[in-house]
């Protein structure tokens, strides 16, 4: 799936829909007409939805993985090779996700999850727990990449799982790694070739904020990492997230499949995801192949798409946390009455 193929409009950040231009207002009107008629809706959520809550995305210049290879942090092999490094990464993220609060976008989906007579699912790839904490109906929320707050035993012989473990730090040795996301400031050279000579460029620097960087604090021994309370041999616990190469939770996938096959889905809301990871990205095509329409909420929608060339697709460019409550207003306002 390519998110880039969606119809977009002008940049909507800080702009209320009432002030938007013609293309935008046309897209919004069409979208909301379809929304009001939709009986079966799916929301596919990614890291962009939590940006307004202060949590970073994964990919791109602002992403968590710009200074670390994901293969070194988010695979079973990475954990096998250096569980201390991987636990520091997840410990850091647990700490920051716990401090974050659900934003207006999470709350808008939570409201949608409770609209009577609407068949609705949120499929979130996020492991930060913010959708659950926003009051989303738990029966139609699927955290398909797991949760930072689930712990699982690594022993093949043991099926110990603990959910909703909010303890911070999990062990004394992890205390130092639970520091806050500090946007790192880096000098960047600003070059305006029209107004300056090359000799001057060295002096023209500016400080820009870039995204938080994971910096492992120390080497940790296995004995200082979270241990399974059930296993006699002191097996390690691991974060209950889905790493590359691992299966997604089968029961959840089956329930999502049942929903998808239970009748055509009228609309899929694709919110703050790059759509690069399988199988999450396949849901958009599945809905569209059944005749459903897609609405994309993302800060990055290609110019080509902004010209509006793709059928059955709307693109709303901007912060998902701001756009969703406005776009979903017809249904969630009805719900509030």
Question: Per the annotation, does 20 bind a ligand?
Answer: no
- Catalytic residue (choose from 106, 107, 136, 145): 145
Number of residues this chain uses to bind ligand BJW (CB under 6 A): 35
Q: Is 215 annotated as a binding residue?
A: no
Q: Under a CB-based contact definition with an 8 Å cutoff, are residues 217 and 177 in contact?
A: yes
Q: With binding defined as CB under 6 A, does residue 261 bind ligand BJW?
A: no
Q: Helix count (H) and strand count (E) of the chain?
A: 10, 11
Q: What is d(CA 157, CA 177) in angstroms, rounded to the nearest whole number?
A: 30
State the Cα–Cα distance between residues 110 and 269, nearest whole angstrom: 14
Q: Is 183 in the site for ligand BJW (CB under 6 A)?
A: no
The span from the CA of 44 to the CA of 190, in Å, is 38
Question: Interaction with ligand BJW in 44-103: which residues (CB under 6 A)?
Answer: 46-48, 51-52, 57-59, 63, 74
Task: Determine the residue with CB nearest ligand BJW.
Answer: 48
Question: What is the C-alpha to C-alpha distance for residues 323 and 62, in angstroms, rounded to an integer?
Answer: 20
C-alpha–C-alpha distance, residues 120 and 123, integer Å: 10
Q: Which is nearer to ligand BJW, 153 or 323 (CB)?
A: 323
Tell me whether residue 186 is annotated as binding: no
Structural contact between residues 234 and 221, judged by C-beta atoms closer than 8 angstroms: no
| DSSP 8-class letter at 227 | B
How deeply is 82 buried, as exposed, middle or buried, from its count of CB atoms within 10 A (0-12, 13-18, 19+)? Answer: middle
Q: Is 145 a catalytic residue?
A: yes
320 binds ligand BJW (CB under 6 A): yes
Under the criterion CB under 6 A, does residue 270 sit at the interface with ligand BJW? no
Q: Which is nearer to ligand BJW, 127 or 306 (CB)?
A: 127
Residue 33 engages ligand BJW in binding (rule: CB under 6 A): no
Closer to ligand BJW by Cβ: residue 80 or 223: 80
Query: Is 285 an interacting residue with respect to ligand BJW (CB under 6 A)?
Result: no
**CA 93 to CA 82: how far, in whole Å?**
17
Q: Which is nearer to ligand BJW, 96 or 298 (CB)?
A: 298
* 279 is an interface residue for ligand BJW by CB under 6 A: yes
From residue 78, give the alpha-carbon distance in Å to each of 10, 39, 90, 97, 273: 42, 43, 13, 22, 24
Residue numbers in the known binding site for Zn(2+) are: 153, 158, 228, 231
Residues that bind ligand BJW (CB under 6 A): 46-48, 51-52, 57-59, 63, 74, 125, 127, 145, 241-248, 253, 272-274, 276-279, 297-300, 319-320
Cite the active site residues. Answer: 145
């Amino acid at each position: 799936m390519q998110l880039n193929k969606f119809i977009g409009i002008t940049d909507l950040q800080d702009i209320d829909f009432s002030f938007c231009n013609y293309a935008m207002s046309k897209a919004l009107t069409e979208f909301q007409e379809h929304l009001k008629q939709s009986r079966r809706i799916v929301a596919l959520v990614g890291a962009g939805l939590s940006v307004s809550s202060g949590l970073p995305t994964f990919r791109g210049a602002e992403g968590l993985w710009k200074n670390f290879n994901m293969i070194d942090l988010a695979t079973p092999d990475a954990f096998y090779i250096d569980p201390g490094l991987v636990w520091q990464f997840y410990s850091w993220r647990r700490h920051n996700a716990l401090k974050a609060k659900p934003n207006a976008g999470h709350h808008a989906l939570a409201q949608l999850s409770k609209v009577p007579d609407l068949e609705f699912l949120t499929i979130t790839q996020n492991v930060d727990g913010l959708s659950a904490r926003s009051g989303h109906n738990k029966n139609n929320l699927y955290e398909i990449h797991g949760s930072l707050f689930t712990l699982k035993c690594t022993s093949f012989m043991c099926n110990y799982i603990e959910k909703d473990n909010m303890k911070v730090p999990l062990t004394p040795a992890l205390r130092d790694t639970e520091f806050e996301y500090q946007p790192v400031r880096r000098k960047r050279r600003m070059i305006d070739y029209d107004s300056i000579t090359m000799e001057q460029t060295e002096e023209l620097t500016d400080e820009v904020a870039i995204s938080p960087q994971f910096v492992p604090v120390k080497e940790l021994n296995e004995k200082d990492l979270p241990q399974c309370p059930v296993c006699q041999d002191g097996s390690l616990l691991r974060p209950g997230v889905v790493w590359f190469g691992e299966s997604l939770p089968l029961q959840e996938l089956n329930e999502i499949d049942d929903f998808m096959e239970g009748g055509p889905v009228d609309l899929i809301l694709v919110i703050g995801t790059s759509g690069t990871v399988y199988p999450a990205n396949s849901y958009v095509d599945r809905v569209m192949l059944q005749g459903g329409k897609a609405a994309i909420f993302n800060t990055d929608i290609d110019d080509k798409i902004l010209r509006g060339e793709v059928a059955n697709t709307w693109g709303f460019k901007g912060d998902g946390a701001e756009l969703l409550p406005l776009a979903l207003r017809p249904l969630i306002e009805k719900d509030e009455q």
